[in-house]
Amino acid sequence: MPLKVGLLGGGSWGTTVAALVARNAPITLWARDAGTVDEINTRHSNEKYLPGARLPEKLRASTDIAEVSANVDVLIVGIPSQSFRSVLEQVKEHIRSWIPVISLTKGLELSTSMRMTEIINEILPGHPCGVLTGPNLAREIMAGQAAASVIAMEDQIIVRELQALFNSGLFRVYTNDDVIGCELGGVLKNIIAIAVGMGDGQGAGDNTRSALITRGLAEVTRLGVAMGGREETFAGLAGMGDMIATCISPQSRNHHVGVELGKGRAMQEIIDEMSMVAEGVKSAPAVMALAQKYAVEMPIASEVYQVVQGDASALKVFRGLLRVSAGAESEPG
């Protein structure tokens, strides 16, 4: 019998993952917005987040979180980081014991600096948990273009079962047991994507973009390893792969924020006109708190934090980054 799956979150990535899983197993998606749910069920589309995409007719949606989370064999959570905890609290009374819970969210909780799998372990103890992450731009995947992702869990028996659940056509899923590294790769690259976007918004060239991505990956790796991740993870799909896609694609929300900041626009003005969350903006304070806690120098992330907090302009920060003196490549800076 195929696994019965519930997915929480009706944004672009949650809807895309639901569409992929629907090819392999029965799945119901939960969304707060009744209009989105009705559109998925009747017109098999989600125009707000995936304009022009056709969703599988087998994909069902509901506004009833109890219906979606009860009696399922796998629960997938694609909720923005700052609402992640409150949604899991709602699920707690409905979910069956011991079923796997997989996060799609690439962010940190601002008040605690916790990763999403840490929140799952706190609220739903005893449930095997993991993360699906990688260079996954939703619209490209819905258009049928090839992509690769990583599912990371500590339990290697369960992770192989879930690998088959997510594998679909040209969407290839690899396994990894480095949950910390894979999860942090997806979180930390968002900050670097904002920095690259700030340069692009000011007319920077490919050489500058390449330097920022490379030096950004170095500081992301330093923090990730200090927190318990493995260095090789940050050279893979969850690290370098995700960073490249997020830093160069016009579909990237974090890159878009950086571009607009580079043009001199105000942070709040940019956020107000976006329909989806740019996790790098939300997570920047938590990232800097972790850098301080683990005594890791992150000069690029620090400058981005100053801009998103409104304490510095993108123009001033970007010029400052270009003037930083260069030491050994293995050193921060």
Residue 312 DSSP label: S
Residue 96 DSSP label: P
**Structure tokens that stand for 117 in this block:** 């799998």
**Structure tokens that stand for 139 in this block:** 């619209």
> Which of 85, 86, 91 is closest to 66 using CA atoms?
91
**Structure tokens that stand for 53 in this block:** 């995409």
CA distance 44 to 18: 12
> Which of 87, 85, 78, 88 is closest to 110 using CA atoms?
85
Catalytic: which of 4, 48, 92, 189? 189
DSSP 3-43: PPEEEE--SHHHHHHHHHHTTTS-EEEE-S-HHHHHHHHHT
CA distance 139 to 212: 26
Q: At what angle do helices 314-323 and 179-201 cross, to 10 degrees?
A: 110
Is there a catalytic annotation at residue 189? Answer: yes
Catalytic residue positions, numbered: 189
